[in-house]
Structure 1
């Protein structure tokens, strides 16, 4: 019975250590700056205009022939 009580105390101590240690492993420091907001450099707008012009050229070519 004494061995069983000793094992229980060891397991209880291990559970307490893990309860305090595990949450701090996953903690993130608050010193890191947040990521900057995404900015548009106009590439998507230019690409969209190019697609529309290509579609217009394709339709006009189809109509003319």
Structure 2
């Protein structure tokens, strides 16, 4: 008998705690509003241009190696 009363009381306490938590969470969520993120400083074109330069240098080096080995 005592254990069923204890479990009922524990259930009521858990329900009340979850209700209190559910009511307080929206207030805590709006307590601090962060400013919006700044816009990106680069739109990716400089990265694409850097990759293009590296690929052109690689093509130039491969062309030089292929033509220098064919002269033998």
2:64 to 53, 61, 64: 61
Aligned counterparts of 2:36 and 2:50: Cα–Cα separation in 1? 30
Any gaps of 5 or more consecutive residues in structure 2? none
**Structure 1 residues 20-43: Cα deviation after superposition (integer angstroms, max 9, x where no partner):** 31672xx64461123233331754
C-alpha RMSD of the superposition:
3.2
Distance 1:10 1:32 in 2: 38
Q: Structure 1 runs of 4+ off > 4 angstroms? A: none
Number of residues of Structure 1 aligned to a counterpart in Structure 2: 63
- Structure 1 residue runs of 5 or longer lacking an equivalent are none
- Residues 30-60 of structure 1 show CA distances to partners (whole Å, capped at 9, x for unaligned) of 6112323333175413421321221221232
TM-score by length of 1: 0.55
- TM-score, normalised via structure 2 length: 0.52
Which of these residues, 44, 48, 56, is aligned with residue 45 of structure 1? 48
